[in-house]
Chain A
Amino acid sequence: YVLTQSPSVSVAPGQTARITCGGNNIGKKGVHWYQQKPGQAPQLVAFDDSDRPSWIPLRFSGSNSGNTATLTITGVEAEDEAVYYCQVWDSPTDHYVFGPGTEVSVL
């Protein structure tokens, strides 16, 4: 199972960033999102399409339908600059798959 992501997204502070993750019928899978800053381990920012860990700010939200899942950051802040990875569990193979990552730059 293959996931696709745009390599980069640029957004001004306070604006909305939309990070997409493409896959065949991905809407039928649970999609999870991670944020990774340089030199750090990844951090979960959204799971099961649209749930958010309690420690993640409300400005992070997720959706998933058809062939595209989306992580939306509403009111981007400078600290949101990072690489974001989507991830799914591929049940036929029992493998876990990551997308290639999207680098979010805050202008």
Chain B
Amino acid sequence: VQLVESGGGVVQPGRSLKLSCETSGFSFTSYAMHWVRQAPGKGLEWVAVISLNGDSEYYADSVKGRFTVSRDTVRSTLYLQMTSLTIADTAVYFCAKPGFGGYFFEDWGQGSLVTVSS
């Protein structure tokens, strides 16, 4: 299993950014997929999940209405569109694959750093 995030960088408050997570080594369409973030020096915070067929999504209250998770089954890629970014969104963003049928995170990417700064 490989999960490779990209798209992070420095962005001004109020702007948008889109993260990608390219996956390989497993059946992408058999798993829901998650985003988890970690602010500098802080703990882990679950951000969002998208169902295995993309027909449902759930978000943490802190990002609901601003972030959108999506997936491309042809490219086996997960996305996170982030809008109206604030300084509080500064974090390393990990994509994570759950254990089969489980509510835990079995595989993680290396993370992509998003810095929101003026």
A residues sitting closer than 8 Å to B (CB atoms) are 30, 32, 34, 36, 41-44, 47-48, 53, 83, 85, 87-89, 94-101
Contact bitstring B3-38, A, C-beta under 8 A = 1, else 0: 000000000000000000000000000000010100
Enumerate 5 A-B pairs (CB-CB under 8 Å) in ascending A order.
Answer: A30-B102, A32-B104, A41-B110, A42-B36, A99-B43
A97 to B46, CA, bound (A): 7
Closest chain A residue, CB of each to CB of B45:
A98
Please list the 3 inter-chain residue pairs (A to B) with the smallest Cβ-Cβ separation, ordered nearest first. A89-B103, A32-B104, A96-B46
Task: Report whether B44 and A30 are in contact in the complex, using a CB–CB cutoff of 8 Å.
Answer: no
Task: Report whether B46 and A95 are in contact in the complex, using a CB–CB cutoff of 8 Å.
Answer: yes
User: What's the nearest-Cβ distance from chain B to residue A16, in Å?
Assistant: 24
B residues sitting closer than 8 Å to A (CB atoms) are 34, 36, 43-46, 49, 58, 60, 94, 99, 102-106, 108-111
- What are the residues of chain B within 8 A of A95 when measuring CB–CB? 46, 58, 60
A46 to B94, CA, bound (A): 19
Closest chain B residue, CB of each to CB of A31:
B104
A96 to B102, CA, bound (A): 12
Task: Report whether B104 and A41 are in contact in the complex, using a CB–CB cutoff of 8 Å.
Answer: no
Task: Report whether B43 and A101 are in contact in the complex, using a CB–CB cutoff of 8 Å.
Answer: yes
Task: Report whether B104 and A101 are in contact in the complex, using a CB–CB cutoff of 8 Å.
Answer: no
Task: Report whether B43 and A96 are in contact in the complex, using a CB–CB cutoff of 8 Å.
Answer: no
Closest chain A residue, CB of each to CB of B103:
A89
User: What's the nearest-Cβ distance from chain A to residue B52, in Å?
Assistant: 15
- What are the residues of chain A within 8 A of B94 when measuring CB–CB? 41-42
A3 to B60, CA, bound (A): 16
A34 to B43, CA, bound (A): 11
